[in-house]
Chain A
Amino acid sequence: MPFAGIDIGSTMTKVVITDEQEKILASHIGPTGAEHRHLALKVMDETIKKAGLSFDALDFIVATGYGRINVPFADKQITEITCHARGIRFLFPTARTIIDIGGQDSKGIKLDADGKVSNFVMNDKCAAGTGRFLEVISETLGIALTDMGALALSADGFVQISNMCTVFAEHEVTSRLAEGAGVAEIVAGLHEAIASRVVNMTRHLGIEKDVVVTGGGAKNQGLVKAIEGKVGFAVFTPPEPFITGALGAALVGKDFYDRGIRPAKERKKEEVTFFS
C-alpha cells in the first residue's frame, strides 16, 4: 500500500512515496519558484514513475510546505511542522529538537518523548536565519551558494556580522570587504550569524538532545558546524535533508490511513495554485 507526501517549499518541491512498512519506494526533487509552480504535478508524476506505480494506486496523499493549501490531487494538507517532526522522528527515534532551515523560513520544533510536537517557533516574516539570507549574500560575493559552507570551514576565524537584516547585512559585507577583511572569514561570520539566530530562536523551546538539523540548511556543513558551536555538542543531519518534510507527509498519510481515514474527495490531476 503506497503513500505519498508532497512538500511544496518556496524554492523546491519534494515528493516521497513509502509503503505500508514505512519503506521509501521513491523520492524526487524539482524546483518551485514563481515560474515553476506548474511543475509540482510533474514532480509527483516523476516520483510515481520511479516507484513503478500509477497515480490511482496511492492510498493517501498528504501535501505540506508553503504551497500545501491548494493541491488539487492531495487528500489532506498538513503543516511542515507536523510533517518534519514525523519524518525526523522516523529517521532519528531519539530526536527531541529539530532545527529546520528552509529557503524562506526557519523553524525550531520540540518533540516530547513520544515524538509528538510539544512546541515550535517559526521565523516566517524575514529572511534572517534562512537559506535566502545566504543566497543573497552569495550573489553579492559572486560565490556559488553550494560553495559557501566549505569556504566558511576553510576560514581562519571569522568576521563579526552584526546585522541580521539581509539588506543591511549586504551593506555590512560590502564595507567589511572594503576594509580588507578576507572573503572566507566574512562568509564564516555570516554562518555564525545565521547559526546564532536560529539557535537563539530555538532556545525559547529549550534545546534538548538529540538535535537534528534539517532542510536545505543542513546540506551546508559550515552552517551545521556553526550550529554545533552554539549548542555545544554534536547535532545530527539526515542523509537527504531536503526530503524529510515530504517523507513525514507520506508517513502522516499512512497514520491517517491506519486510523481508518480515507481520501474524502476526488483527486484532480491539476496544477497547483498558490494562495499568495
Chain B
Amino acid sequence: MTVMQAIDRLYNERGVRARELRADGHKIIGYFCCFVPDEILAAFDLVPYRIQGSQSEPIDEADALLEPMACPFARSCFNLALKDRYDFLDGFVAPHSCDTIERMYHIWHSNKPTSFDHLINVPHMLGPSSDAFFRNELKYFISRLEDFTGKKLDESKLRDAIRLYNRRRALLREVYDLRRENPPRVSGTEITKLLVAGMGIPAAEHIGLVSAFIDEVKKRPRPAADGLPRIFLWGNEIDDIAFVSLVEECGAHVVMDDLCTGSRFFWQDVSETGDPLEALARRYLCTHCPRSLKPQAGNRREDLENRFGYIREFADGWKAAGAIFYIVRYCDTCELEGPDLKEYLTDLKLPVLMIEDDYSTSTIGQLRTRIQAFLEMIM
C-alpha cells in the first residue's frame, strides 16, 4: 500500500483503525474539538479519537432529539453516534469549547452513555487566573481517568507522550512548510486528508504516515509557475475534502489555514520542561478557537493585532492573495469573530470572502459561483 492509499483508507473509512485497535484490547476514548490533551489519554495507554461528523450523510435520527438550528457539525456527530457508528468508543470526553458542545455532551450522555463520560470545563476568558483554573480541571480529568483505568498517572509516561505529540506537531509543521512553495507540490485537498486520517489513530502511527508523506512529496517534480492565487482558509470544522477541492478546482492553491481541523490543533508545542500539567494547560488554552477571548488590549487597532497577529504572520509567510472564511452555520463564535477578523485583514489589503455553509457536501456546489468570482476578483 502506498502512503496515499494508506491515507485514503483512513480518510474514507473513519474509525477503521480504532476498531482494529479495540479488537486487540485497546480502549478508545472519543473527544470533541482541540481542547482535550491527547497526551493525558496516551499516558494512560488509551487511544484518543477525535470525533468527526459526516458532511456526506444527511442528518436524520438526531433531528428527533435536537433542534435543526443547532450547529450542524455537532448534530451530525450525534447523528452518527445514534446510528452506532461510534460504537467502538469506550469513553466520551467533551470540553466546554462552546455552548453547543457543552449541551451536546449532556444529550449524548443521556442517549448514548459510555463507560467513561467526562466534561472538561475550559475557561472562555484568557486572563491571569485561567491557566491555574484549567490546570485544576485537567487534574480532575486525570483523577477520573485513574478511577476508570484503575491505575495512577505515571508522570514519566506523560512526559513521553508530550515529546511524542510534539514530534507529530513538528512533522505537521514541516508538511505546512512545503506549502510555502509556489506553486506548492502538495494540495490543500491532500493536506485535509492527511490531517483527518490522523485524527483516529495513535500519534506514533500518524508520525509514520506523515514522515512517509513528506518523503513522497519531496520526490515530486517542481511544477511550473501557474499564476494561480494562493488562499488562506479560516473557519471551524473542515473534516471533508469537498470544500477545499472545490476551491482548488475553481483555480487556486489552498496553502494555509487557521481551522480546528488544521493548524489550530497542532501549531504550538507543549513545553517539555517544568510541570507537565501546567505546560499542557498553557498550550491547550492558547488554541486559537474564537470561543476563547483575549482581554481587550489597547486601542482598536492594537486589540485586533493582539488577537489576530498570528494570522497576519500566516498570510504573509505563505504569501496568501486572499482569505476565505468557511463557517459552519450557527457557529455563533465564528460568525461574531468574522467581522472583526475581516476588518483586520481588509486593512492589511488581504481580500476576504466570507461563506456560511451547512456542513453538507450536497450544498457545496452552490458556492462555486461565489468562490470563482472571488478568485477572478483577486487575480
Contact = CB atoms under 8 A, between A and B. Distances in A.
A80 B369 contact: yes
A43 B351 CA distance: 37
Interface in A61-88: 66, 69, 78-82
Contact of B370 (A82, A117, A124): A124
Contacts of B365: 275-276
Contacts of A79: 369, 372-373, 376
A54 to B, nearest CB: 30
Nearest to A69: B368
Contact of A118 (B366, B370, B376, B377): B377
A116 B376 CA distance: 10
Interface string A107-124: 000000000111110101
Could you tell me the dominant secondary structure of chain B's interface residues? helix
Contacts of B377: 81-82, 116-120
Contacts of A82: 373, 376-377
A79 B365 CA distance: 14
Interface string B342-379: 00000000010000000000010110111011001100
Nearest to B375: A79
Chain B: interface residue count, which band? 10 to 19
B52 to A, nearest CB: 25
B366 A120 contact: no
B207 to A, nearest CB: 40
A265 interface: no
B376 A122 contact: no
Contacts of A80: 369, 373
A125 interface: yes
Contact of B369 (A116, A118, A122): A122
Contact of B376 (A117, A125, A276): A117
Contacts of B369: 66, 79-81, 122, 124
Interface in A97-141: 116-120, 122, 124-125
- Of the listed residues B363, B365, B370, the one surrounded by the most CB atoms of chain A closer than 10 A to its CB is B370
A177 B378 CA distance: 49
Contacts of B368: 69, 275
- Of the listed residues A66, A81, A116, A275, the one surrounded by the most CB atoms of chain B closer than 10 A to its CB is A81
B376 to A, nearest CB: 5
Contacts of B366: 124-125, 276
Contacts of A66: 369
Interface string A175-189: 000000000000000
A124 B366 CA distance: 8
Nearest to B377: A117
A78 B372 CA distance: 8
A119 B345 CA distance: 14
A103 to B, nearest CB: 14
- Of the listed residues B366, B368, B369, B370, the one surrounded by the most CB atoms of chain A closer than 10 A to its CB is B369
Interface in A232-276: 275-276
Nearest to A252: B376
Contacts of A119: 351, 377
B72 to A, nearest CB: 14
A120 B363 CA distance: 20
A120 B352 CA distance: 10
Contacts of B351: 119
A145 to B, nearest CB: 24
Nearest to A276: B365
Contacts of A275: 365, 368
Nearest to B369: A79
Nearest to A66: B369
A120 B377 CA distance: 9
A43 B373 CA distance: 25
Contacts of A124: 366, 369-370
A238 B366 CA distance: 28
Interface in B136-172: none
- Of the listed residues B363, B366, B377, the one surrounded by the most CB atoms of chain A closer than 10 A to its CB is B377
Nearest to B372: A79
Interface of B: 351, 363, 365-366, 368-370, 372-373, 376-377
Given A79-B372, A80-B369, 4 more contacts: A79-B369, A81-B377, A120-B373, A125-B363
Enumerate the 10 nearest inter-chain pairs by beta-carbon distance, A residue then B residue, closest first.
A81-B373, A79-B373, A82-B376, A117-B377, A79-B372, A79-B369, A276-B365, A122-B370, A124-B366, A79-B376
20 contacts: A69-B368, A78-B376, A79-B372, A79-B376, A81-B369, A81-B373, A82-B373, A82-B377, A117-B373, A117-B377, A118-B377, A119-B351, A122-B373, A124-B369, A125-B363, A125-B366, A275-B365, A275-B368, A276-B365, A276-B366
